[in-house]
Amino acid sequence: MYFISHRPLWAPLSRKLIPALTMGLGIFGSMFLFTYLPQAAVMAIFNGPLAALSTALLVLSESSTIFMVAAKSLLVEDGLIDTFDGTLVSKGQTGLVNKDRPVKSGSNPIARLGKLATKPFQKFTPTAIVRYFMYLPLNFIPVIGTVLFVMAQGKRAGPGAHARYFQLKGMDKGKREEWVEKRQGAYTAFGTVATLLEMIPVAGIFFAFTNVTGAALWAADLEQSEGTSPALKEQARQAEVGQ
């Protein structure tokens, strides 16, 4: 809703929308044409009459993974970073964004963004690919297996949504792991919903940008919470107790 209601945030997506949609149609169409029936035959052994649905979800997951990796790496990586940073700027977190890129004056949060110093979004590594295929056999378990598979992907995707935030905060690997461990449930929930939205054929590219917007809004809330002084937090706690 925030993305839709803030028109300046549309600019990074609009610049890459047509190429991304073309790529998405090609990938999803090819995957269903060439891989659905062979996988359905195998899934029928384990899932019986539910094989058609389970296979469709599996092919969607595979297709969305290929599509999002290709799109994020080749087409929209810079746009996703701009959307994340632009959302932070729109929420008043200019100082945080300014750690990695200059922020100009003005009312348009995207137009205010200067040149990036780094490209911090995590790449899809060989380890991640191996982990993805390790979880694929979960889909042989009717219904529940598919749910567990999506949740497993969500557990990985959740922290990845804050890769830019961690970079802006200057967190090393140890600090990132400690940070995520304290909020593992929230990251898994966010990542699971984000994964499901990005599994929607073709429209997943739109949700990639809304997911990034949501991750940035979450980061802004965390910054605001951290920025509250201990004294004010204690006053607020005492006020709640008094009530």
Domain assignment present for residue 97? The answer is yes
Q: Is 71 exposed, middle or buried (0-12, 13-18, 19+ CB in 10 A)?
A: buried
pLDDT of residue 189: 93
pLDDT of residue 166: 94
pLDDT of residue 3: 97
Count of structural domains, the chain:
1
* Domain membership of residue 64 as a residue range: 14-222
Domain assignment present for residue 234? The answer is no
Domain assignment present for residue 1? The answer is no
Domain assignment present for residue 227? The answer is no
Q: 184 with 154: CB under 8 angstroms?
A: no
Domain assignment present for residue 243? The answer is no
Q: 90 with 2: CB under 8 angstroms?
A: no
Q: 143 with 156: CB under 8 angstroms?
A: no
pLDDT of residue 179: 95
Distances (CA, A) of 83 to 43, 78, 160, 178, 216: 39, 9, 15, 26, 8
Rounded to an integer, what distance in angstroms lies between the CA atom of residue 215 and that of residue 237?
27
pLDDT of residue 204: 87
Farthest CA pair distance, the chain? 65
Domain assignment present for residue 237? The answer is no
Domain assignment present for residue 236? The answer is no
Domain assignment present for residue 2? The answer is no
Mean pLDDT per 10-residue section of the chain, whose length is 243 residues: 96 92 90 91 83 83 80 86 96 94 94 83 59 71 75 86 93 93 94 88 89 97 74 47 47
pLDDT of residue 236: 44
What's the gap between Cα 102 and its chain centre?
A: 25
For residue 210 the two structure tokens come to 């809304």
pTM for the model stands at 0.80
